[in-house]
Amino acid sequence: MQIVVDLHIHSPFSRATSKDMSFKSLERGAIVKGLDVLGTGDFTHPKWREEIRASLVGEEGGLYKLRESGRVRYVVSGEVCTTFDYKGRSRRIHHIILLPSMEVAEQLCPILERRGSLEGDGRPNLSMTGAELVEVVSDLGEGCVVIPAHIWTPWFSLLGDRGGVDRIEECYDDQTPHIYALETGLSSDPPMNWRVSALDRFTLVSNSDSHSASPWRIGREANILEVPRLSYKDVVETIMHRKEGVTTIEVDPAYGKYHWTGHRNCNVSVPPDEAIRLRGICPVCGKRMTKGVAERVEELADRKEGVIPKGAQRFIRLLPLSEVIATVLGRDIFSGEVQKRYWDVVGKFSNELEVLTKAPEERLVEVCGKEVAEMVLMNREGRLVISPGYDGVYGRPEETGRGGRQAEGRPADEEERFLRRTKNLDDYINESR
């Protein structure tokens, strides 16, 4: 069977997270998006664990669901940041942890607690090496997994320019054989990862890292898994050992907020070759630019662009429907007009992924109007052109010659401020229906 899975999200106990996060709103968002399995996020936080226990029940096969007849299944998941010194520099790296049950989570938390408080942030800071983390997690038994998170982002990632390392072994040391998968993050896609032959043996996974329960955030990147059964073991083993059964849903990497190198204050963004020519210095103010993922991949690449390694995974490239509508309307994705249109369209299909990947053209035109329908098809066929994100500013689809004001790229911290203000997802749905 085929299932759509997003394993990396956050709870209201993580920094800069929307207060609309509850299992009720997550369930609603996941159904609207078309997800079958969602990570719980933040299992390390004692209050969110309480919430998980209160809202979810375990079922046979190690997945959880809402107590009152839920449709979505949940995997116990969380993200931690490890800080350690390596070659005279401090490294700060994010890792996703997947666990087969809440009982195992209760065993792990006291061990992690010795390395840093679990109460301050849903994504706790721990003083330990990546190898130490993998060791304590895998010691808990089968199916307890660590996946390096958004491996290319400049901050807080395995291969990131600031605070990451150049080789996976430099983080995970003798525990590297226990790493099976890598999360590629929004700013990179599989072809970029294929440039580095050291990554060939890993399964590439994609998740949303969402800080909100809204369907224009959760599932924006996800995985389509071909599994024998709907169980925790099948989900995890497919990711660990059967990468041919994993197809990722990817936004265009240019949409990610760290794709190109740039300096936001000066409105400067440049592709990798130009960044190298400028030696990373902003041509406007002379300060150091934030190195984008495209340039970082170029640095570590040992293959030319376009090489497809043996066993390369399938992926599909899709921007969220909210982005498509925002582009057609020339409005911000959080504007009332975009939200209203979104709910109008999605309400007439089973879910957003159906609209994006399957709905026939005539039906799309009938429901969404000609312009949105056309752009949905361009999105499906990979014909959208994205002006690249940089230094924390999301990339945005370029307008395709029709009228309408172009919305600006949204700096991520502005978005975070917005998310903190957002109301319950149900209010949106009620208001816009």
How far is residue 425's CA from residue 433's CA, in Å, rounded to a whole number? Answer: 12
CB of 287 to Zn ion, least distance (A): 5
* Residue closer to Zn ion (CB basis): 28 or 263: 263
CB of 94 to Zn ion, least distance (A): 4
How far is residue 2's CA from residue 51's CA, in Å, rounded to a whole number? Answer: 29
Largest Cα–Cα distance in the chain?
A: 61
The stretch among 177-185, 238-246, 256-264, 329-337 that binds Zn ion (CB under 5 A) is 256-264
Subset of 37-96 contacting Zn ion (CB under 5 A): 94
* Residue closer to Zn ion (CB basis): 92 or 242: 92
CB of 10 to Zn ion, least distance (A): 9
DSSP conformation class of 200: T
How far is residue 425's CA from residue 409's CA, in Å, rounded to a whole number? Answer: 24
Interface with Zn ion, residue 281, by CB under 5 A: no
How far is residue 29's CA from residue 44's CA, in Å, rounded to a whole number? Answer: 23
Number of residues that bind Zn ion (CB under 5 A): 7
Interface with Zn ion, residue 284, by CB under 5 A: yes
The stretch among 18-26, 283-291, 381-389, 423-431 that binds Zn ion (CB under 5 A) is 283-291
| H-assigned helices in 223-302 | 232-241, 272-277, 293-300
CB of 355 to Zn ion, least distance (A): 29
User: Of 263, 341, 396, 410, which lies in the binding site for Zn ion, with binding defined by CB under 5 A?
Assistant: 263
How far is residue 82's CA from residue 132's CA, in Å, rounded to a whole number? Answer: 9
- Contact status, residue 275 vs residue 255, Cβ threshold 8 Å: no
How far is residue 300's CA from residue 59's CA, in Å, rounded to a whole number? Answer: 43
Residue in this structure with the two tokens 């190195």, named with its chain if needed = 291
Subset of 128-157 contacting Zn ion (CB under 5 A): 149
What separation in angstroms does the CA of 266 have from each of 118, 262, 282, 308, 392? Answer: 37, 9, 8, 37, 13
CA angle, residues 282, 285, 289, in degrees to nearest 5: 30
- Residue at 217: amino acid letter: R
The stretch among 164-172, 186-194, 236-244, 265-273 that binds Zn ion (CB under 5 A) is 265-273
Interface with Zn ion, residue 16, by CB under 5 A: no
- Residues 94-113: x where in contact with Zn ion by CB under 5 A, - otherwise, as a string: x-------------------
Please state whether beta strands 203-205 and 181-183 pair in parallel, antiparallel, or not at all (unpaired). Answer: parallel
Query: Which of 10, 12, 309 is closest to 150 using CA atoms?
Result: 10
User: Of 66, 266, 278, 312, which lies in the binding site for Zn ion, with binding defined by CB under 5 A?
Assistant: 266
The stretch among 63-71, 263-271, 298-306, 320-328 that binds Zn ion (CB under 5 A) is 263-271
The stretch among 62-70, 240-248, 281-289, 391-399 that binds Zn ion (CB under 5 A) is 281-289
CB of 283 to Zn ion, least distance (A): 8
* Residue closer to Zn ion (CB basis): 96 or 356: 96
* Residue closer to Zn ion (CB basis): 270 or 364: 270
* Residue closer to Zn ion (CB basis): 137 or 325: 137
- Contact status, residue 263 vs residue 281, Cβ threshold 8 Å: no
CB of 183 to Zn ion, least distance (A): 9
* Residue closer to Zn ion (CB basis): 366 or 408: 408
Residues at the site binding Zn ion, with contacts judged by CB under 5 A: 94, 149, 263, 266, 282, 284-285
